[in-house]
Chains A and B, each alone.
Chain A
């Protein structure tokens, strides 16, 4: 479609499953240094949007431009290599590997068969892993098995597995689900810190968290955007109150 300066430009994105439009002509833009939160009632199509951007689901129509390059129709690994990282709703980590090994296997080098055969743990890789571990508050747990981490720490670890790849866009599906209040606050600080120089799209239900973190909020309902703006504006929006906050 048109040329864009935005990091991510989603235009007229539509996907239908057997005629049901889960996402219906969606258009939104996300830029560097932005923390965008997508909210909406169950079944609004939030996770589907992340699936579409990350290539898990193929769009029926529209375009997804990342750094002004079309990524719609590319394979997941190509999209990841272009610079988009994705965290799943339930923590998806390698339970029996240590924290260090979890981060190492996510390191963006040696991701082909031959690369993985030749892979060596170099000093650069080691330093990168340790610095990410410090970012996600797990520098003390590097040698611990991931299975032994608390639920919140597992969430952080998966965020860390994205950070190791230095993605320019991070897609996070419910990153604070199941976290304690202190863990949630630490996550807010973490995400604010790491959003510098990149963009983050978050799907979240926890309204306190959304208020603390969002630069902009996009409200989805029945696959369509019904409002977009700052959290204060969103809270005043009558349509949003009706469909989402309930009255």
Chain B
């Protein structure tokens, strides 16, 4: 019952009053309040967390709305992250600054591993335009190839989740095992400049933070737009009534592949922004554990809520930082309990909490006019769980 309700939500108008207000609040927090309140160090940390919000956003699309759980989104985050890191590494490895190496002009870790020539697959990353292009194209290609056969062959969603998990494990081993080509377990480090612009200064990090937020907000608008189309309705319909959609003449596999690729591309952009803001990329940032973290971010935020993805990522990451600073030994227990509480009591995450409790309260405070504008007034919310669900999902999808 509950899941059906979001069909309506995703079909609701693109620029409803409420979604504009929610968008403005998020933009205000990220673009104005946080930069004013936080120290440079904390702002950079927030920027780093927001990169994971891209992945959570992708999961809201493919898991929340289309029912495709991927436990391997780190793979796509890594594609973007490594693409950007490879470009930056090549820029940092000009012959002059690497003159002490046996082979000057190649990344340092290659030299340490007796690689004497730049491998062919590094060549495209000499060009910035091609790198940017690849940040979009690589996840599309990987997403398509990895999902096509499974969706055409109608693999169950649990099996697909496990498969994605094993993809990301394979990639982790491939990177770690090929130290000379990808920097191994240490990752690609010591990144300095982007087209001559030093990305390590506080000024640059501030600029990158704003770029990251703008891209994230842009991705939210893109997702919101997709969900407002017939496309979005079909996604939710095939999640809830697969057979009916099939027997209405839809080839569901195409829709699944497409939304999986959309999620992949968004994740990849987040990965690229991560490399820029943090200054390195390593396999432990994209492996099995981070991939599961990303699912937790989406679950905590509410897997049907685009805004929830951002808030969920920030809240969990903040909790992670605070707890792990305060109680380094106890941290994992807190983290585990947080997830259990969410699964047991808040299946729709923070977005559900907002929709069930905060929003009705706000409606009462701001009174009649807004409540009348909204299709589900608060009296209906109390009558059944299902109309409750509609409300929250409508307001936050």
Q: Residues of A with Cβ closer than 8 Å to B?
A: 54, 56, 75-77, 80-81, 85-86, 88, 92-97, 101, 104-106, 108, 110-113, 116-117, 119, 145, 147, 161, 165
Contact = CB atoms under 8 A, between A and B. Distances in A.
Given A75-B251, A95-B1, A119 B230 contact: yes
A105 B237 contact: yes
A116 B230 contact: yes
Nearest to B233: A105
B248 A106 contact: yes
Best-surrounded residue of B8, B229, B244 (most CB of chain A within 10 A): B244
Contacts of A104: 230
Given A92-B241, A94-B241, A97-B11, A110 B247 contact: no
B249 interface: yes
A93 B4 CA distance: 10
Counting from the closest, the 9 A-B pairs by CB-CB distance are: A80-B249, A119-B230, A116-B231, A92-B244, A96-B4, A116-B230, A95-B4, A86-B247, A113-B258
A76 B246 CA distance: 6
A111 B250 contact: yes
Interface string B312-331: 00000000000000000000
Contacts of B250: 77, 111
Contacts of A92: 241, 243-244
Contacts of B246: 76-77, 80
B255 A113 contact: yes
Given A96-B8, A97-B8, A111 B251 contact: yes
Nearest to A164: B248
A94 B231 contact: no
Given A75-B251, A95-B4, A96-B390, A110 B237 contact: no
B233 A101 contact: yes
Interface in B1-44: 1, 4-8, 11
B264 interface: no
Contacts of B247: 54, 76, 80, 85-86, 88
A12 to B, nearest CB: 25
A73 to B, nearest CB: 15
Nearest to A75: B251
B229 A119 contact: yes
Best-surrounded residue of B6, B226, B234, B255 (most CB of chain A within 10 A): B234
Nearest to A91: B244
Contacts of A117: 226, 229-231
24 contacts: A76-B246, A77-B246, A80-B248, A80-B249, A88-B243, A94-B4, A94-B244, A95-B4, A96-B4, A96-B8, A96-B390, A97-B11, A101-B11, A101-B233, A106-B248, A108-B249, A111-B248, A111-B249, A112-B254, A116-B229, A116-B255, A117-B229, A119-B230, A119-B231
B149 to A, nearest CB: 15
Q: Which applies to chain B's interface (DSSP): helix, strand, loop or mixed?
A: helix
Given A56-B243, A94-B7, 11 more contacts: A76-B246, A88-B247, A96-B7, A101-B8, A105-B237, A111-B248, A111-B251, A112-B254, A119-B229, A119-B230, A145-B8
A138 B46 CA distance: 53
A235 B231 CA distance: 50
Contact of A77 (B226, B231, B244, B251): B251
A94 B237 contact: yes
A145 B384 CA distance: 15
B240 interface: yes
Given A81-B249, A96-B390, A116 B7 contact: no
A54 B247 CA distance: 8
B251 A105 contact: no
Interface in B210-251: 226, 229-231, 233-234, 237, 240-241, 243-244, 246-251
Contacts of B258: 113
B231 A165 contact: no
A93 B249 contact: no
B395 to A, nearest CB: 15
Given A105-B234, A117-B231, A94 B248 contact: no
B229 A165 contact: no
Contacts of A165: 248-249
Contacts of B229: 116-117, 119
B355 to A, nearest CB: 15
A165 B231 CA distance: 18
Best-surrounded residue of A86, A94, A97, A101 (most CB of chain B within 10 A): A94
Contacts of B386: 96, 147
A101 B10 CA distance: 12
Contacts of B252: 77
Nearest to B8: A96
A93 B258 CA distance: 24
B244 A88 contact: yes
A21 to B, nearest CB: 24
Contacts of A119: 229-231
Given A117-B229, A117-B231, A119-B229, A96 B5 contact: yes
A58 to B, nearest CB: 13
A161 B237 CA distance: 14
A132 to B, nearest CB: 14
A24 B310 CA distance: 57
Contact of A97 (B7, B243, B255): B7
A112 B248 contact: no
Nearest to B247: A86
Contacts of A77: 246, 249-252
B60 to A, nearest CB: 18
Contacts of A85: 247
Nearest to A54: B247
B259 to A, nearest CB: 9
Contacts of B233: 97, 101, 105
